[in-house]
Amino acid sequence: MDIYPDFIDSSDLLHDGAALRVRLDRDGYLFIRGLLPSETIRAVRSRLLTKAAAGGWLDPATPIEAGIANRSAACKDPEELYMHVFRGLWADEALHRLRIHPRVLDLFSRIFGEPALAHPMFVQRNIFPQSGDFDFTTGVHQDRVHIGGATSYALWMPLGDCPREKGALAVAASSHTQGILDTKVGSGAGGMDIAVPIPGTWATGAFKAGDALIFQDVTVHKALPNRTNEIRMSFDARYQPVSQPVADTNMVPYSGCGTWEEVYAGWSSNEGQYYWADLKLDVIPLDRSHYERRDAQAFEMAERGDKAARDAILRIIQRDKNAEKRAKAERLLETLDGG
C-alpha cells in the first residue's frame, strides 16, 4: 500500500482567486472539499450505474447502487468491449452538465481572473477492480501532450466517494515546474508513460462525493489501483482562460462517441448543449509531434513482438486519420495477438 501524504486542503481559499492562483503555481494542484453538492454527484452516479448494469458491468447478484463490478466483464478504454457500453455513459446529459456547473465555472474564472472555457471534450472513467486476470489503472503521465493549446487545468472528480483503495488520483506535487517530460509507449493515458524519474512529491487523499482535485497540464499524476469490489467511476474535464488558444481536438466529443448531434440525440432537454457556440475562440491544431513519436516507437516495438505496444497500436487503429498507418497497425495487432 502506498504511503503518500494527504493532499494539502485548499477549501478555505475557495473564494480567494489570488490565493488559489498562488497555491496552484506553487504545488501544481488544488484539493477542494465539497465543490459540488454530494446529492448532485450521487444522482449522476446512479444514472451511470444503471447504464453500466444494463451493459453487464455490474454483479447481477448485488444492488445496482452498490456498484459492485462483474469481474468477468472487466475491460478498459479503448477496447471495443469497453467502448460499446461506455458510449452510453459518456453521452449522459446530467454528466455533461457537471463540468459546466456554475460553482465550477465560477471557481476557474476566479483563478484565471477572466471567464473560463470548459473544454467541450472531457473524459469519464470506469476502472474495474484489480484482480489476477485484470490489472489496470491509469499510469503516470502529464496531460499537456494530449490536450495541447494554452496552459489548461484539469478538474478530476470521482462519481461517489473514493477512498484511496478505490483508485483515487495521486499527483506529484510541484512536478509542474519541470515542464514536459520525456514519454515512452505504455498503457497509460493515450498509450504513453513517462520515461524519466518523476520529480516532486506524491500526494493523494480520500475523496467524498463532490470533492475536487484541480491540477495543471504538466503536473504529473496517476491513479492508484482499485483494490475494492466496486467499479471506480470518475470524470475529468479541462479549463482555460477563454481568451487563450484551444486545440481543435478538445472541441469534439470523446473519441469513438460520434458527433455532438449523435451525443445529444437522446437528451431530454437542450440545457448545456453547444454552450461554446457563441464564444469567440481561437481554435488551433493540436501539436501531434508527441503522438508521432509514440507511434514510431509503438510500430518498432510491435515489429519485435513486444506486447507493451498493444494499447498504442489500438489507439492508432481507432483514432489515426492516416489510412496507411491504420492498416499497418491492424497488421501488427494481428501478429501481436498471435493471428
Ligand X SMILES: O=C(O)CCC(=O)C(=O)O
Binding mask of the shown chain, residues 250 to 269, with x at each position contacting ligand X by CB under 6 A: --------------------
Pairing of strands 232-241, 169-173: unpaired
Site string for ligand X, 93-132 (x = CB under 6 A): --------------------------------x-x-----
Binding residue (CB under 6 A) for ligand X from 138, 152, 240, 297: 138
Query: Angle CA(90)–CA(185)–CA(247) in degrees, nearest 5?
Result: 50
Residue 249 binds ligand X, judged by CB under 6 A: no
Residues of 87-113 as b/e, b for ≥16 C-beta within 10 angstroms?
bbbbbbbbbbbbbbbeebbebbbbbbe
For residues 184 to 203, the per-residue mask of contacts with ligand X, x marking binding by CB under 6 A and - elsewhere, is: -----x--------------
Each residue of 246-270: b (16+ CB within 10 Å) or e? bbebbeebbebbeeeeebbeeeeee
* 217 touches ligand X (CB under 6 A): no
> Shortest Cβ distance from residue 1 to ligand X (Å)?
18
283, amino acid identity? V
Q: Residue 265: CB partners within 8 Å, gap ≥ 6?
A: none
The reply on whether position 27 binds ligand X by CB under 6 A is: no
Q: Is 30 in the site for ligand X (CB under 6 A)?
A: no
What residues form DSSP beta bridges with 312?
Answer: none
Asked if the bond preceding 78 is cis, omega within 30° of 0, the reply is yes
Residues 142-171 that bind ligand X (CB under 6 A): 143, 154, 156, 169
Query: Interface with ligand X includes 234 (CB under 6 A)?
Result: yes
Nearer to ligand X, 137 or 297 (CB): 137
Contact status: 223 vs ligand X (CB under 6 A): yes
- Joined together, the cell numbers standing for residue 154 give 484539469
- In the complex, the residues that contact ligand X under the rule CB under 6 A are 125, 127, 138, 143, 154, 156, 169, 189, 221, 223, 234, 236
